[in-house]
């Protein structure tokens, strides 16, 4: 297989699955309204990194031969998972559970790689939820680009972008319901709430909402809690859900969750670091955006601990002329970037330890390589 967009290829074992992902996601997103159809598929056209689905697929495979338990949940039948959700042309999709006749079969249905249809669908659901959050995020952040193209809010306007995000959540919910697994449904529904909670904590930072905030431990714990909700919740709970769908034992389910939580925290720490260190062209989205948005992320929080001067700028959210440049210079001259990288590395090490008891497999190697990839990525 070709190396992925992030350079190396840790996904030998799921490469075939990944090839079908975009198509399968687009199948879930068809709308009879041509404009809604276009906008909701917009971010699927420029392929993202697919970090979340890749993790779900790797976790599904890595736990295939782990000890199993009998779960007394209703076993989803193939029909419930695979029957078409989106009507080809009609607008009135009145009864989504009644099978629509236009046949839709997963093109990758025949691949025998140990991944269950429900786990494959879960991978698609994670990308739908993630993409929905990006549609909303780009409106909130007044972003102009995403995945090296104009962001949806720029291409179609705020109203359409918000509605398209809502549509993605709706379709993700239908697909989730069709898994017929209440525990998995609850996990992913909680993720949606967590995403909003994380975004809210970021918008209304009660740890920093004073005129002259001083650095305290709580500043960092608030940031990490927010980071869990905004980024690690989806990754951790979908890893957990993958193990649950595979009927893994509670120990394996916990290990999958711990891997996802630690990797997810590292992922966002690196994201916040790249906002300082990489150009917008390379990122495919605006760089240096966090300070412009008034946000104090890990590199700045670490710089602030060494240099109380930054508190004044934090207090006014870098709003005065020259603040953004000043804060940026102070961060780059501090070891805030290095400390952020070191903290991310600690989390990645924990993620690797979490799955150390998994039997050796190509997928386990893939999960380990994902950790390296998160640390070395430049976009
Ligand atoms: C990207 O962060 C955004 C998120 C990880 C989550 C945003 C969540 C919401 C907007 C709440 C609504 C949620 C749903 C499910 C509709 P970023 O802005 O730091 O990163 P970026 O540089 O990629 O824009
Ligand atoms: Mg953003
Ligand atoms: Mg944002």
Nearest CA to ligand 1 atom 9: 133
| DSSP characters over 259-272 | HHHHHHHHHHHHHH
- Closest ligand 1 atom to Cα of 275: 22
- Taking alpha carbons only, the member of 141, 136, 147, 171 closest to residue 45 is 147
Rounded distance from Cα 273 to ligand 3 centre (Å): 14
Structure tokens at 170: 């709706």
Q: How many CA atoms lie within 13 A of 323 on its CB side?
A: 21
Q: Tell me, what's the ipTM? A: 0.97
Please give the average per-residue pLDDT across 147-168, as a whole number: 97
- Taking alpha carbons only, the member of 17, 18, 32 closest to residue 85 is 32
Structure confidence at residue 72 (pLDDT): 57
- CA–CA separation, 129 vs 338, rounded Å? 31
Please give the average per-residue pLDDT across 73-97, as a whole number: 54
Predicted confidence band of residue 13 (pLDDT cuts 50, 70, 90): confident
Predicted confidence band of residue 74 (pLDDT cuts 50, 70, 90): low
Say which residue the tokens 């500043």 belong to: 219
Q: How many CA atoms lie within 13 A of 97 on its CB side?
A: 7
Q: Would you say residue 175 has pLDDT above 90?
A: yes
Structure confidence at residue 106 (pLDDT): 52
Q: Would you say residue 7 has pLDDT above 60?
A: no
Instruction: Provide residues with CB under 6 Å of ligand 1.
Output: 129, 132-133, 136-137, 140-141, 143, 165, 169, 192, 195-196, 199, 230-231, 285, 289
Asked if 114 and 253 count as a contact pair (C-beta separation under 8 A), the reply is no
Q: Would you say residue 105 has pLDDT above 50?
A: no
Structure tokens at 27: 């199948």
Structure confidence at residue 265 (pLDDT): 98
Structure tokens at 367: 């999960």
How confident is the model over 251-275, as pLDDT tens digits?
Answer: 999 999 999 999 999 999 999 999 9
Q: What is the DSSP letter of 14?
A: G
How confident is the model over 317-368, as pLDDT tens digits?
Answer: 999 999 999 999 999 999 999 999 999 999 999 999 999 999 999 999 999 9
- Closest ligand 1 atom to Cα of 293: 18
Neighbours of 199 (CB within 10 A): 18
Q: What is the DSSP letter of 248?
A: B
- Residue 296 has φ and ψ, to the nearest 5°, of -100, 105
Task: Print burial letters for 238-277: b (CB count within 10 Å at least 16), e (below 16).
Answer: bbbbbbbbbbbeeebbebbbbbbbbbbbbbbbbbbbbbbb
- Taking alpha carbons only, the member of 376, 176, 356, 171 closest to residue 163 is 171
Q: Would you say residue 51 has pLDDT above 90?
A: yes
Predicted confidence band of residue 17 (pLDDT cuts 50, 70, 90): confident
Top-confidence residue, 321 or 81: 321
What is the best residue among 134, 137, 236, 277 to mutate for testing ligand 1's pocket, by most ligand atoms within 8 Å of CB? 137
- Residue 147 has φ and ψ, to the nearest 5°, of 50, 45
Structure confidence at residue 1 (pLDDT): 41
Structure confidence at residue 103 (pLDDT): 33
Name the percent of the chain lying above pLDDT 70: 86
Structure confidence at residue 48 (pLDDT): 83
- Taking alpha carbons only, the member of 338, 337, 339, 311 closest to residue 326 is 311
Neighbours of 361 (CB within 10 A): 18
């Amino acid at each position: 297989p070709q190396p992925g967009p992030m350079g190396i290829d840790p996904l030998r074992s799921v490469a075939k699955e990944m090839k079908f992902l975009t198509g399968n996601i687009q199948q879930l997103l068809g709308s009879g309204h041509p404009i809604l159809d276009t906008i909701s598929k917009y971010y699927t056209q420029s392929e993202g990194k697919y970090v979340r689905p890749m993790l779900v697929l790797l976790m599904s495979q890595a736990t295939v031969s782990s000890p199993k338990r009998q779960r007394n949940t209703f076993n989803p039948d193939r029909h419930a998972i695979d029957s078409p959700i989106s009507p080809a042309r009609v607008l009135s999709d009145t009864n989504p559970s009644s099978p629509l006749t236009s046949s839709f079969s997963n093109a990758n249905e025949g691949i025998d790689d140990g991944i269950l249809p429900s786990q494959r669908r879960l991978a698609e659901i994670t990308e739908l939820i993630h993409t929905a959050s990006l549609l909303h995020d780009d409106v909130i952040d007044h972003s102009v680009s995403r995945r090296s193209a104009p962001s949806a809010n720029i291409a179609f306007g705020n109203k359409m972008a918000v509605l398209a995000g809502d549509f993605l959540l709706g379709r993700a919910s239908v697909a989730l319901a069709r898994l017929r697994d209440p525990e998995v449904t609850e996990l992913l529904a909680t993720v949606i709430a967590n995403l909003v909670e994380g975004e809210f904590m970021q918008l209304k930072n009660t740890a920093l909402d004073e005129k002259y905030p001083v650095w305290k431990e709580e500043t960092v714990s608030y940031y990490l809690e927010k980071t869990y909700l905004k980024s690690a919740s989806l990754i951790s709970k979908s890893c957990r859900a993958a193990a649950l769908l595979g009927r893994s034992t509670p120990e394996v389910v916990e290990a999958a969750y711990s891997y996802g939580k630690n990797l997810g925290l590292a992922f966002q720490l690196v994201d916040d670091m790249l906002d300082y260190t990489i150009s917008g062209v390379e990122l495919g989205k605006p760089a240096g955006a966090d300070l412009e948005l008034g946000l104090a992320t890990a590199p700045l929080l670490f710089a602030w601990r060494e240099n109380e001067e930054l508190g004044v700028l934090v207090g006014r959210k870098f709003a005065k002329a020259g603040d953004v440049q000043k804060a940026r210079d102070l961060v780059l001259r501090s070891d805030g970037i290095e400390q952020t990288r070191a903290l991310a590395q600690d989390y990645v090490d924990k993620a690797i330890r979490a799955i150390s008891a998994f039997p050796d497999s190509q997928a386990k190697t893939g999960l380990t390589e994902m950790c390296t990839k998160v640390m070395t990525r430049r976009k």
